Amino acid sequence: MKKKLSEMDYDEKGTVIEIDRDLQKRVAGMGIRVGKKLRMITKQPIKGPVDVIVDEAETSLGLELADRIIVEVD
């Protein structure tokens, strides 16, 4: 099932299938890219950031960024 990264549930895993064009370069350095597996570990209340784990590295993304990444959930 496809959903936005921002809509993933706690501890849900998935594969990145689409990243907004403007965003690709910004998140590339963090190792986030199309085809990567990731796990959502937590998000903060009241439109706070979303934390994901990619290759055992934790990255925290603002909600608007997470809105622009599409994930195929396992």
Q: Under the rule (CB under 8 A), what is the footprint of another protein? A: 24-31, 33-35, 41-42, 44-49, 51, 55-65
CB of 38 to another protein, least distance (A): 13
User: What residues have CB less than 8 Å from 40, skipping those under 6 apart?
Assistant: 5, 8, 9, 10, 11, 12, 13, 14, 50, 51, 52
Q: Decide whether 1 or 10 has the Cβ nearer to another protein.
A: 10
CA angle in degrees (0–180, nearest 5) for 67-62-8: 50
CB of 30 to another protein, least distance (A): 6
Q: Decide whether 1 or 21 has the Cβ nearer to another protein.
A: 21
